[in-house]
Amino acid sequence: MARRRQSVTIKHVAADAGVSLQTVSRVINKEPNVRPEMMERVQASIAKLGYVPSIAAQRMGGSRSYLILALNDRERTIADWRKREGSDWIDQMLLGGMLTCAEHGYRMIFELVDTHSDHIERELSAALAALQPDGVILTPPHSHNPLITGLLERAGIAFARIGSLKPGGGFRLTMGDEVASRDATMHLAGMGHRRIGFIAGPDDYELSAWRIEGWRWAMEAVGLGIDDLLTAGDFSYASGTAAAAQLLDAGATAIVASNDQMALAAVAEVRRRGRDVPGDISVVSFDDTPVVRFHHPPLTAVSQPIAEVTSRAVGLLIADANGETNIAPVEVKAQLVPRGSTGPLRSSN
Amino acid sequence: MARRRQSVTIKHVAADAGVSLQTVSRVINKEPNVRPEMMERVQASIAKLGYVPSIAAQRMGGSRSYLILALNDRERTIADWRKREGSDWIDQMLLGGMLTCAEHGYRMIFELVDTHSDHIERELSAALAALQPDGVILTPPHSHNPLITGLLERAGIAFARIGSLKPGGGFRLTMGDEVASRDATMHLAGMGHRRIGFIAGPDDYELSAWRIEGWRWAMEAVGLGIDDLLTAGDFSYASGTAAAAQLLDAGATAIVASNDQMALAAVAEVRRRGRDVPGDISVVSFDDTPVVRFHHPPLTAVSQPIAEVTSRAVGLLIADANGETNIAPVEVKAQLVPRGSTGPLRSSN
DNA sequence: CTGAAAGCGCTAACAC
DNA sequence: GTGTTAGCGCTTTCAG
């Protein structure tokens, strides 16, 4: 239990460079009003001694913590990890977030918090008090949870909300779900499909509604009815199976599913009925996690730019910490990637 | 740029409970020599005020940081994330690591550092100085990099090395690669295969040698020669293709590949030659990332218990911080999971 | 068993 | 421009 202390501190640098602590501090924080020669001298000492500021001490001194907290839903994330279904949402967040943080001298810390309201405020407060991050990134369903956004606002901590446009403060980032859903539907309509079913995501995700909206928009645009072609899902494989069965019963020749697992389930259901994808039925999925590309056939999917949107979120947070202002919602567009699960309507249909 | 300070500090708790700062500190740190009634009173105040200690301040005061740093190879990790091939190594590390950290009031921070020697010491020192973790978890190839282990030892920071048994201090954790490789080979031999080829991993991973050893051991045990059946790979798909071609040319009827990507490549190569898996050729892979289960057929694979081994690593680190001693290497055994890519030797072979 | 003092490494505020 | 002072929230001495 050796009590380790910082080996080389600002004091050593100051002594080595023959200046005051404060001057070193100024150099570290790139403050103005330091003569260039002083600055060089200090930086030489820093490099020579291999000095790196202690983020704990910086925080104690009242400055930034240089920490960005990425928050995800505990229950869902752990379930995904345990299932090992190949979702790489978290990996992509880390990819975009960590790299952009690193570019600005920040670090990203990844944490899980429950959505369940008993814990949520306590847990979040604990994470904030313990870590004291300069900014927080929220993903659905946290990003539109008023308990969370409210707490963050009261605490005066900058935050970015991915996948939410509801009021509640913070920066809003989206991935153009409505347009993407419309594109997916148009892609199918363009191949001659007229009975294009939709499997929705759970209500507690704002993007579920956006995706429905895009589909509805497209169906109307090409003059198709949507009567019994909208079904409910909850992002689970099982719900995808049920919804697909319903749509096939209703005579759908194409299906847009609000996530990969439900799309995979839909393909399986089509085959269970002795029919073929894309020969008889076309399927499009949302998210485009890796499993979709290893599937046979690879699924046509809406690819979500998670890494990019997380990177943008980090950028907004850091810009904010630097006093730059930006309130307009940011949209990083998802892309439809046509693959083997969609094809022309078969004339026999 | 509001300069946020801790909203409720140890002072508030002390005032509320009518005790000294020190007593509160003792309660927080579960130190002995506090009367139960005092303790209860303090804990009541803590709960009431929702107090959570600032980890920065704790660190400043000279105690632990309650941070465990998980270090991975930057280049390889980022490449994996970019490729989106569905590897969930990182996810499984987070799963095992974060949950176990949380159980003990710790937090896990995930970082990437380059293996390239120019940066490595600087980068690692920077991360250590900035974060001041109580423990570090190393994965291959970092876990047997003397630059890293040496630096950590000199700094007096506890560390755990996953996938390495080389000397160099720290706790050592392995996943029984040799035994797993032997089991995989025996599984094939048990199905009648006699020409069982092996695709090795890169030399700079200790586990590459262990896996070769297990295969060699099994081949000898059942009296089979290994002459031209050992090929080199580097964990990449391309290298798997080349190695598989070589093995098939040599008349192998079964292949053990040192990771999933190379196994997938092997299956593809078999098919490219108009032959079938497992009808003509059996394939076993190492790692068992999700993609393997979504493949057709699902691959028989050695499933690596990443989550469990990371959890154990965290446990060792925390136990060490608590003054408990433990030097023996820990082995969390990988399991062979038989699936559809292996079958009996076809008589026509 | 509990309290008061000093100090961790750094920054903000104020002087010079 | 640069140095000095005080203090962040906590833990470690060391008294009582």
Say how far apart CA A53 and CA A55 lie, in whole Å: 6
CATH number of the domain located at residue range(s) B67-175+305-333 in this protein = 3.40.50.2300
Say how far apart CA A58 and CA A107 lie, in whole Å: 14
Say how far apart CA A262 and CA A256 lie, in whole Å: 9
In the 28-67 segment of chain B, residues within 7 Å (Cβ) of strand D are: 28-29, 51, 53-54, 57-58, 60-63
For residues A89-104, give the mean pLDDT.
97
pLDDT at B115 over 90: no
Q: Work out whether strand A300-303 and strand A335-337 pair parallel, antiparallel, or are unpaired.
A: antiparallel
Chain mean pLDDT for chain A: 93
Say how far apart CA A163 and CA A202 lie, in whole Å: 14
Q: Provide the CATH topology of domain A10-59.
A: 434 Repressor (Amino-terminal Domain) (1.10.260)
Query: Is residue A105 less than 8 Å (CB to CB) from chain B?
Result: no
Which of A50, A59, A81 shows the shortest C-beta gap to B91?
A81
A125: which chain B residues are within 8 Å (Cβ-Cβ)? 50, 52
Q: Are A251 and A217 in contact (CB under 8 A)?
A: no
A321: which chain B residues are within 8 Å (Cβ-Cβ)? 1
DSSP A63: S
Give residue B117's pLDDT band: very low, low, confident or very high (50, 70, 90).
confident
> Which overall architecture, per CATH, does domain A178-303 show?
3-Layer(aba) Sandwich (3.40)
* pLDDT computed for residue A2 by the predictor: 45
pLDDT at B346 over 70: yes
Looking at residue B163, its amino acid is G
pLDDT digits 0-9 by tens, B31-73: 888 898 889 999 999 999 989 999 889 988 888 899 999 999 9
* pLDDT computed for residue A349 by the predictor: 54
* pLDDT computed for residue A144 by the predictor: 92
Query: Is residue B79 less than 8 Å (CB to CB) from chain A?
Result: no
pLDDT at B122 over 80: yes
Distance A246 CA to C10 C1' (A): 64
Q: In terms of Cα–Cα distance, which of A166, A207, A199, A176 is closest to A303? A: A176
Kindly identify which residue of chain A lies nearest to residue B59, measuring between CA atoms: A56
For residues B86-101, give the mean pLDDT.
96
pLDDT at B190 over 80: yes
- Residue A59, classed as helix, strand or coil, is helix
Q: In terms of Cα–Cα distance, which of A275, A278, A295 is closest to A287? A: A295
Query: Is residue B130 less than 8 Å (CB to CB) from chain A?
Result: yes
Q: In terms of Cα–Cα distance, which of B295, B227, B293, B287 is closest to B256? A: B287
Q: Are B216 and B226 in contact (CB under 8 A)?
A: yes
* pLDDT computed for residue B63 by the predictor: 85
* pLDDT computed for residue B334 by the predictor: 98
pLDDT at A348 over 70: no
* pLDDT computed for residue A3 by the predictor: 55
| Residues above pLDDT 90, as percent of chain A | 78
B54: which chain A residues are within 8 Å (Cβ-Cβ)? 59, 129-130, 132
pLDDT digits 0-9 by tens, B265-317: 999 999 999 999 999 999 999 999 998 988 889 999 999 999 999 999 999 99
| Cβ-Cβ contacts under 8 Å for A316 (sequence gap 6 or more) | A160, A171, A173, A326, A330
Where do the domains of chain A lie? Answer: 10-59, 67-175+305-333, 178-303
pLDDT digits 0-9 by tens, A152-163: 999 899 999 999
Is the CB of residue A221 inside 7 Å of nucleic acid strand C? no
* pLDDT computed for residue A139 by the predictor: 97
Q: Can you give the pTM of this predicted structure?
A: 0.93
* Residues facing residue B72 across a β-bridge: B112
pLDDT at A1 over 50: no
pLDDT digits 0-9 by tens, A130-144: 999 999 999 999 999
Q: What tokens appear for B224 in the block?
A: 């089979």
| Residues above pLDDT 70, as percent of chain A | 98
Q: Work out whether strand B107-113 and strand B67-73 pair parallel, antiparallel, or are unpaired.
A: parallel
Is the CB of residue B164 inside 7 Å of nucleic acid strand D? no
* pLDDT computed for residue A63 by the predictor: 85
pLDDT digits 0-9 by tens, A276-310: 999 999 999 999 999 898 888 999 999 999 999 99
Say how far apart CA B36 and CA B108 lie, in whole Å: 32
pLDDT at B255 over 50: yes
For residue B158, the distance in angstroms to the closest alpha carbon of chain A comes to: 10
B178-303 shares the fold of B10-59: no
Q: Considering only CA atoms, which residue is closest to the C1' of nucleotide D5?
A: A22
